[in-house]
Structure 1
Amino acid sequence: MKHHANYILARQPAFYRLLLEVVRSRHLEKKTFLRLVKDGDVAFDIGANKGSYTVLFSHIVGSRGQVHSFEPVRSTLDMLKDRLAKEQRFANVTLNQAAMGESEGEMVMHIPAGDHGQASLRRHSTGSWAKDQTESVSCRVKTMDGYAAEKELKKLDFIKMDIEGAELLALRGGEKTLGKFQPVLHLEFYRSWTEAFGYGAKELLAPLRALGYRNFYRGDFTVLNQPEEELNATEHSENVICSARPL
């Protein structure tokens, strides 16, 4: 019953978003996605974890849309598959056991204390990483440009990317695709984790600006007038929306 209700609501995103506002839901990301993702869209879920947003995107984009979901850790991907088997209503999801990066190949994914949601290509020190219990597994890495060419994508409307600091690597591997389609991006930025990859907000946003992205917002759609400075001044994790057009 719950799964069916979620499906019915997701097919009416404006109403669903209003309902979440009325009940004062703390699901900010869900409210954001209900505004950004549209029926018929092609969406990427990069860092899909157990698939809660893959399912949401699938419901929203419907039979005319596509969802391409990327999760590199096999055990996590299996949980995502189980979720889809129970909740999916449209045959519109392509699953990929892969990370997104700057170049194709194999890399090592580190999983802290069994927390698959914080699995990363770099070791960190905060959150579950503080427990000092880490499992490491080899994973395949794809590039956005290579994948878009392989699938012969005709459009790409939205990308959600939550990959624990590796966002810049994925963007570098997708510059051709991003420049061609200019999808709306929803990125996680956490300075503590991006520093493990050797970059900050300036380095993250510079290639996007070069590709025509001019509008930057926090996850609640508050405008970032000086995004580089404002993000670097933030100590906690921040969701950032990037768009070539005003939202």
Structure 2
Amino acid sequence: MADRTLLLFKLQRIFHAASGNHVQRLIFRPVHYVAGLVFSRIIFPIVKKRWEVRTKTFFGANMNLALPAGLDLYILGAKGHHSECKLAMFLVKNLKPGNNFYDIGAHVGYFSLLASHLIGEEGQVVGFEASPDTFELLHKNCYPYQNIHIENKAVGKDAEQITFYEFPVLYSEYNSLEKKQYEDREWIKKNQAKEVSIPSVSLDFYIEENRIIPDMIKIDVEGGEYTVLQHSAKVLEKYSPVVIMEFIPPKDGNWENNPHFKAVLWMLEKGYNMHKIDETGEIIPITAEKSVLGIMDSENLVFTKSN
């Protein structure tokens, strides 16, 4: 079973390296740092093709990645953004053996693999990834683990074919059902999305059919969080799982139409309590929805419900 004290120590080192300068990151993992930067900054701009590599995570799992998109994972053995380091610490502290974890927007499987490591053989991980290209890597990473089940579907309405937008490899983490949210970004002007048709399923229907009852649900679907929640109402009402949801503030200050803010309001209306994650993985209550207006960068918010 996972040595959680050691995992938290490793995450603190990763947090320090990720927020440090080039020398600190070089010292942390020199071979990966040099190889990753040479490919991303010199080779990729010429060949315009991804490089599939393997790396070992801080919790010991081997992962297949596509550079340059997975550069932080390749160099650090973990996702390096401050919000994702804090989320990993929260999971280490709160996911227990035998828990069931839903990873909606699993990408290449980093958090699914971490959850699998923490919950052990008694628990189950269910991962959903809509992008067909990304799902190939997710499948490679997860198929050796019997406690991980993955679905190449979007989570939303039942039995529906929907349009999904896939971006080139450098921006693949922005793959989404909603591309309007990126209209103010400079990179989208030169990187057009590819439209693909994919199946959709609601969390309410999936859980009723498969009877894998969630203890914790992570939602990171690049602006589609509100749609996911609307079709998960029965599950949230009946089982009251912990919900972790990415929150990205609008760059234009238009909160009224921000899908992440809509999702926050929806959760509060359903009786959930909202929290931020601090730099040690502990949660801090946020007492009012207006408090999120002060968030200037992407964060993972944790919602809990008192029984």
| TM over 0.5, shorter chain | yes
Instruction: Give the Å deviation of 1:138.
Output: 1.0
Shift of 1:149: 0.6
Alignment partner, residue 13 of structure 1? 4
Aligned residue number for residue 140 of structure 2: 82
Change (3 A) 1:245 1:72: same
The offset of 1:244, in angstroms, is 1.2
Q: Is 1:237 equivalent to 2:228 in the alignment?
A: no
The answer to whether 1:178 aligns with 2:178 is no
CA-based RMSD: 2.7
Letter in 2 for 1:244: K
Question: Of the candidates 93, 117, 120, which is equivalent to residue 176 of structure 2?
Answer: 120
1:105 maps to amino acid: E
Query: What's the secondary structure of 1:191's corresponding residue?
Result: coil
Task: Call closer, same or farther: CA 1:54–1:147 in 2, change over 3 Å.
Answer: same
> TM-score if structure 1 supplies the norm length?
0.83
The amino acid across from 1:68 in the alignment is V
Deviates more, 1:62-71 or 1:201-210: 201-210
Pairing of 1:1-247 with structure 2 (within 5 A):
11-21=2-12, 24-25=15-16, 26=18, 27-85=85-143, 88=144, 90-114=145-169, 115-123=171-179, 124-125=182-183, 126=185, 128-153=187-212, 155-192=213-250, 198-199=257-258, 203-218=262-277, 220=279, 221=282, 223-245=284-306
- d(CA) in 2 for partners of 1:150 and 1:135? 32
Q: State the distance in 2 between where 1:64 and 1:34 align.
A: 16
Give the deviation of 1:200 after TM superposition: 5.1
- Equivalents in 1 of 2:161, 2:259: separation in Å? 25
Give the secondary-structure state (helix, strand or coil) at the position aligned to 2:106: coil
With over 3 angstroms needed to count, the CA separation of the structure-2 counterparts of 1:54 and 1:213, relative to structure 1, is same
Work out the CA distance in 1 between the residues paired with 2:146 and 2:204. 24
Residues 236-245 or 56-65, more deviating: 236-245
How many Å separate the matches in 1 of 2:256 and 2:205?
Answer: 22
Instruction: Supply the distance in 1 between the matched residues of 2:186 and 2:120 (Cα, whole angstroms).
Output: 36
Deviation at 1:201, TM superposition (A): 5.6
Structure 2 gap ranges (5+): 19-84
Whether the 8 Å contact between 2:167 and 2:193 is mirrored in structure 1 is yes
> What's the CA shift string for 1:73-112, capped at 9, x where partnerless?
1221111111224xx4x41111101111144411111122
User: After alignment, is 92-101 or 218-227 more displaced?
Assistant: 218-227
Contact 2:131 2:166 in 1 (8 A): no
Shift of 1:224: 4.2
Q: C-alpha separation between the residues in 2 aligned to 1:168 and 1:63?
A: 32
Judge which range, 17-26 or 231-240, deviates more. Answer: 17-26
Shift of 1:219: 5.7
Q: Which amino acid aligns with 1:143?
A: S
Matched to 2:146, the amino acid is: A
Q: Provide the rounded CA distance (Å) in 2 between the counterparts of 1:163 and 1:46.
A: 7
Partners of 2:232 and 2:244 lie apart in 1 by 15
Task: Single out whichever of 159-168 and 230-239 deviates more from structure 2.
Answer: 230-239
State how far apart, in whole Å, the 2-side matches of 1:111 and 1:243 are.
Answer: 32
Quote the Cα distance in structure 2 between the aligned partners of 1:48 and 1:191. 21
User: 1:5: which partner in 2?
Assistant: none
